[in-house]
Each structure stands twice: as structure tokens, then as C-alpha cells.
Amino acid sequence: MTIATSLGTSAHGPSGASAGRGVVIGTAALTFSDVIAVARHNARVTLDPASLTQVAATRTIIDALAADTEPHYGISTGFGALATTFITPDRRAQLQASLVRSHAAGSGPEVEREVVRALMLLRLSTLMTGRTGVRPATAETYAAVLNAEITPVVHEYGSLGCSGDLAPLAHCALVVMGEGQARDATGVLVGGKEALAAAGIAPVVLAEKEGLALINGTDGMLGMLVLALDDLTRLLVTADIAAAMSVEALLGTDAVFAADLQQLRPQLGQADSAANLRHLLHGSGLLASHAGPEDASVQDAYSLRCAPQVHGAARDTAAHAALVAGRELASAIDNPVVTIDGRVLSNGNFHGAPLGYVLDFLAIASADVASMSERRTDRHLDASRSKGLPPFLAHEVGVDSGLMIAQYTAAGIVSELKRLAAPASVDSIPSSAMQEDHVSMGWHAARKLRRSLDGLGRVLAIEIMTAARSLDLRAPLAPAAATGAVRDLVRTVAGGPGHDRFLSLEIEGVAGLVASGAVRLAAGTGLA
């Protein structure tokens, strides 16, 4: 299974998305495309009526336990280290509200709107499984906040990934209660009460168990993982495009990408990457210009020759991460949880280790793909290795610096990506009076992965910009149709060979083409 096919569907049920009708949320698992539609494209959500009936049935179990004189965790007790403290009925609404208020303790910059929408969607999906014990009205209000495009303010710091993403989810729950801060649909910062009032939404007064159900999940980690996998689908194809342009411009060979050679090592991602390179380089006049028995390019440098092996390993890593994410999308994460046969039980499913591990793994892959790309960029600029190209691709050597400092920028980013590849998931730190004595740090793994993927896109953009200039300098020899089309796209935002000019704007322009998917589209169809 490839990452692309993983992102299209859930492994545990049909998609909730219907073209033109938004995303239907019920007991079935959401798909990756559902999450992307709501988080990035503001798709509306609709609650499945049959699932709402199940939510209501489960709530009757909670109401019965709330009336019991015996304590039940999360219903008539305190939380965490206070789990044995009985709370009388007249104080339980305050208990739930106090839980949310105290846990909304985030600090630092606001996280991105798409992250908040993803984590809210995923929490709502768990509420709709009927395993949390919330009232239907609470789920309906949560959905209304999403559809009104109200974005609670969630901060960078606060989650340890222990009982899930407590602080980020608490900031969202606070707005559902008509408190806290949010951004309205236009991005203006308002109070939670004002945001709900403007949208005609009545605040929720939390009942027993609901505070826990709104904040006890892995939704922030999972949301950022799904978003990252969507980005990687584009970036790993872009990495193949960049490598193909470099192989051509550096007068390398495509013979090493032959299918029979790749089949000797049947790694799935490697096969896909090699197939992309063959497709991209098909019909290249540059490669034809030096092909034949006398071609000295059989032993190209590893950064050229081994691109399928490295890019393919990253693809396989992403495919594994997609499997983990698919299972998590099919999960009902809460503590305590209402089982299908009506028991209310504490559990440890909120621990973020499965997500933290793969988030860290993806940061390693991102750093390595970027590292290989930067090495290819450097080869273009070194006259001793570039097979006839001018030093630094400068127009007038000695007067012009060419793309010398563009490589510095790529190298600086790669250095940071290596630091970001250090795993967060091994850095547990105890909390809650040693009750939560081992935590996943999955939120932190996700936050650094987002920064890592941004850096990877920029490093690939610098390679593509550099390779485009090298291709121009090889004229009149012509590149392949696909790589030539990408070179032409680059020329819409960055000039060709010539005297030095303000380079930062050109780098940003090409980085924008990478981020938007325009580079991927320019290369045409037929890429895995």
C-alpha cells in the first residue's frame, strides 16, 4: 500500500464525505479526505441521526450512574489524582466547568486554524461514537461551532500527550461553553461568548462526564498527523521531480532506475519513486546526448543514483504512519469510556505513544530527504562536479555570486531539520502528582513535524530553482517534457541565468509553487 492510497480511505469503514454535502459524522470512522476537507477547505459537518440516537441511549447510562450513591470516576468524582473524591450532585456542573477552565492553560503563539479545525472534527467524531456519554445537544453545539467557522484560540504549549491533548481540547471546550477566546469566520479575535452569540449558538452548560469527554483525546496529535501525511503526499512526489531535474542537468544517467534493477530489492516506496523518475526523464534530450556504452555516468553520486532508495524509504515510512492514523481515526478515545455492553470503565487508550512514534519517524524521513536534496543542489554549484556548468551558476564569475547563498539557505534549513529529527516521544516527563508518570509528548512531535515539512518544501524549492537554471545553461540540449514544464513554471516566479538580483523573492516564489502543488501539477500525470 502506498501513502497516496492510504490517504484516500480509512482502513476501518467507508468515508463520511459526500461530494457537495460536506462530511457526515456518525459511528463510522472518518477518512483522511474528510479531515482535510473540514480542516483546510471549511467543509460543513452533519451529524448522522441514527448515531445521535445511539449517543442519547448511552447518555441514559451516565444519568443512571450519576444518580447512584456510589462514586463513579469522571461522573461523581474528581479527576486524575483526585479520582477518589466524591462530588455531590449540586456541585457537579461546577466540577465539569472547573475542569475545562483549569485545563485551558495553554501558553505561547496560537496554533494554525487548520490544526484547530482538525482536532475539533476528530473530537466530535469520538463524541458521535456513543462511547463517551455526552448528551446529543452537546455534540450538536460542537458541530455548530465548526460550521460557523469559529476557531477557538489554542496555544503552542500545554499538551504532554498524556491523557491526550488536554489543554488544546480544553481551549476548544471553553469556547463551546461561551468562554475563552476565538477567531470568528473573518479571523477577528473575539470572546467565546461573543462568537457564539454572533452565530446564534447557545453555550453548553456541561453535565456529568461531559467535561472529560470534551478534553480527553489524541485529536491534536492525530489531526496534525493527517495534515502532515497530506503534505507528504505532495512533497515526496516533488522530491522525485527535483531529483529528475538534477539528474538531467548534471548529465547523469537514468539507467540505474530501470525496473528490473529495482525489482531486485522489492521495497514498495522505492519502486514507486524509481517509476516516477523513469516517467519524468522519458524522452530527455539531455540524457540522450551522452547515453551509450561510453557514458561515464554509471557511477553517479549517491544523491543522484540512490534517490529512489531514500525517497522510497520515506514513502514507506509515511505509509506505515498512515496505517497508524487510519486505526486512530476508527478509535473512540475517552476516559472513562462507555463500552458497547453499557459498562463505564477507566482505560489507557488516551496515551499518545502510537502517534508520537510515527510523528517522530516522519521527522527523521523529512530531514533525510531534505539532506539528499541539499547535496544535489550543492553539486550544481561546484564546477569540479557539475560537468561543465559555471561556478555557482554565476553569469559573470568573480563579479556575480550566482546561487551560492541559496545553497547556504538550504544547508541552514537542513541543519535545523536534523535537530528537529530528535525524537520527542522518548522525552517523557511526569505530571499530576505522579499519577501521569509517563507521557507521550506526541503534541510536541507533531508541532516539530509541521516545521520540518515546511523546511523540506523550501529545500526542495531551492533545488528545483537551481536545477532549472542548470537546465537553461545546458541549452540547446532539451530536457524531458515533464521536467521542462516544471522549468517553465519556475520561470513565472524566478528569472533564468543572468546577473545577480534580489534572490529571496525568487526562492519564496518557487517555495510557493511547491506548497500549492503547482510543481506537482506541472509535471503532468502518471506519477505515483
Q: SS3 breakdown of the chain: % helix, strand, coil, rounded to 5?
A: 55, 5, 35
Cell of 281: 526523464
Pairing of strands 22-25, 107-110: unpaired
How many other β-carbons are positioned within 10 Å of the β-carbon of residue 426?
A: 10
Sole residue written with cell 492525530: 222
Query: What residues are paired with 155 via a beta bridge?
Result: 110
The answer to whether the beta carbons of residues 456 and 234 sit under 8 Å apart is no
The answer to whether the beta carbons of residues 413 and 458 sit under 8 Å apart is yes
Is 73 an active-site residue? yes
Q: Is 218 exposed, middle or buried (0-12, 13-18, 19+ CB in 10 A)?
A: buried
Cell of 503: 534572490
Cα–Cα distance between 373 and 307 in angstroms, integer?
9
Catalytic residue among 73, 157, 302, 357: 73
Q: Is 494 exposed, middle or buried (0-12, 13-18, 19+ CB in 10 A)?
A: buried
The DSSP H or E segment spanning 109 is: strand 107-110
Cell of 110: 496560537
Give backbone dihedrals phi and psi of 177, rounded to 5 degrees, phi first.
-80, -5
The DSSP H or E segment spanning 303 is: helix 302-305
Give backbone dihedrals phi and psi of 77, rounded to 5 degrees, phi first.
-130, 175
Cell of 353: 505513544
Which residues have a catalytic role annotated? 73
